Amino acid sequence: MRSAARKMKTNLRARSRKIRDLGTFQNSWIVTATFTSVTVENRAPHWIFVESGRRAGAAMPPVAIIEAWARRKFGVSGLGWIIAKRIAEKGIAPRPVLNRLDTQARLAQILNEELGRGFETAWSRITPNDL
């Protein structure tokens, strides 16, 4: 399961490269594997707005966070309020990564391939004396 988790995380990072937020979204994927399950989540504080978007007319997003992002991205101060105001007025279009059918299908394929390998390995270790 751990190899499946590593492959899933690599796949999600590759699929989220188009989100240009200086790597916060791409590097926040957490894939946890146990013996019986795999959990996928993104720990970026703005992940829900990337996946689902933000409707026009909603409350203004936090200016300080957007100001810090604008300073890192553009090297200029004073853009935070302008960008936050525009987001409040116009909203943000969703850019789903995890909630896309092709992503879900690929993650399921990775999991099935790794489970198949695990079963093959376990089965090959069984000797006639074990039965």
Write out pLDDT tens, residues 51-84.
Answer: 999 999 999 999 998 998 889 888 988 999 999 9
pLDDT beneath 50, residues of the chain:
none
pLDDT at position 131 = 65
pLDDT at position 22 = 59
Residues 38 and 1: beta-carbon distance below 8 Å: yes
pLDDT at position 67 = 92
Three-point CA angle 89, 91, 95, nearest 5° = 165
User: Is the entire prediction scored with pTM above 0.75?
Assistant: no
- Token readout for 66 is 């957007």
pLDDT at position 82 = 94
Q: What are the structural domain ranges in the chain? A: 1-44, 47-96
Kindly list the distances between the CA atom of residue 85 and the CA atoms of 20, 34, 60, 90, 96, in Å, as whole numbers in the listed order.
20, 43, 6, 9, 23
**Helix, coil or strand: residue 46:** coil
